[in-house]
Amino acid sequence: MARSEDAAVVYRLRDVRKIREKGGFRFELRIPDFTVRRGEFLAVVGPSGCGKSTLLDMLGLVLRPTSAREFFFRAQSGKQQEAGPVSILDLGEPDMANVRRRSIGYVLQSGGLLPFLSVRENILLPCRLNRMRGAEHVDALAKALGIAEQLSKKPQHLSGGQRQRVAIARALAHRPPFVLADEPTAAVDKLTAKEIQKQFKTISRNLGVTLVLVTHDLGLARSGADRIFGFKVQRDAENSTISTLAEYKGAA
């Protein structure tokens, strides 16, 4: 990553393979070339079983690739870039956990909110894990997402759309440079989904956050993403599946 234009690259994956085997079934995800630049909003679209979760787990530094020519991640702090890219292949588990905790936000499909904490306490969790102050930032995020009146409530008293907005606020609370969102609007209606995605994109842009969103809804992806990726899936008679990540050229 020596060229000057690479200063904007957050992720670069080249010739990455992840193989998973279970119960006689073999699944292989192939990523020939995947580059994410600072400030982009990328959507990854595909049906169940095509490798979306495996891709997110690798980008989230939860899974290591089986093999790779390059797997670089440029850790940042908000809009301030750190010294340079990190090769994930060279990191031990403690270092991966530190990078993951500081530099990546994650929005779960289920929301993943803790029922015994208030909305404010849920949003503040990443700040506490990173020993950061976050009260003012939480208030600003809550206002931008339309949940300022819900901060003292418990998650079980919120609507589905409100819970997902809280999950988005929590992912952004510690000012990570990179956020992964796994089907964040799957549990709400299409109109609410578009509203949430628009808010998510606007706030991410304002904070200088790079966003990768996984969805099964190509129409939703087209309505907001800068670039869209999908999967070319090949299955054979020997219980083996090969899924290759590829960009939809001109789709967005």
Amino acid at 173: A
- H or E element that contains 221: helix 218-222
CATH of the domain at 151: 3.40.50.300
Please identify which residue in the block is written with the tokens 């995947």: 34
Domain presence at residue 219:
yes
Largest CA distance in the chain: 57
Domain presence at residue 134:
yes
Tokens standing for residue 105: 């936000």
- Number of structural domains found in the chain: 1
**Burial profile 42-51: b = 16 or more Cβ within 10 angstroms, e = fewer:** bbbbbeeebb
pLDDT at 33: 95
pLDDT at 170: 94
Domain presence at residue 220:
yes
Task: Give the domain extent around 147.
Answer: 1-247
How confident is the chain (252 residues) per 10-residue block, as mean pLDDT? Answer: 63 94 89 93 90 92 92 64 68 85 87 90 90 84 92 92 92 92 83 86 89 89 91 84 87 46
pLDDT at 84: 59
Coil/strand/helix, residue 125: helix
Domain presence at residue 117:
yes
Beta-strand relationship, 25-37 and 9-22: antiparallel
Domain presence at residue 252:
no
For 147, phi and psi rounded to 5 degrees?
-125, 20
Query: Could you tell me if 147 and 119 are in contact, meaning their C-beta atoms sit under 8 angstroms apart?
Result: yes
pLDDT at 130: 84
- H or E element that contains 245: strand 240-247
Distance CA 138, CA 123 (A): 7
Distance CA 173, CA 168 (A): 9
Domain presence at residue 242:
yes
The pTM of the full predicted model, rounded to 2 decimals, is: 0.86
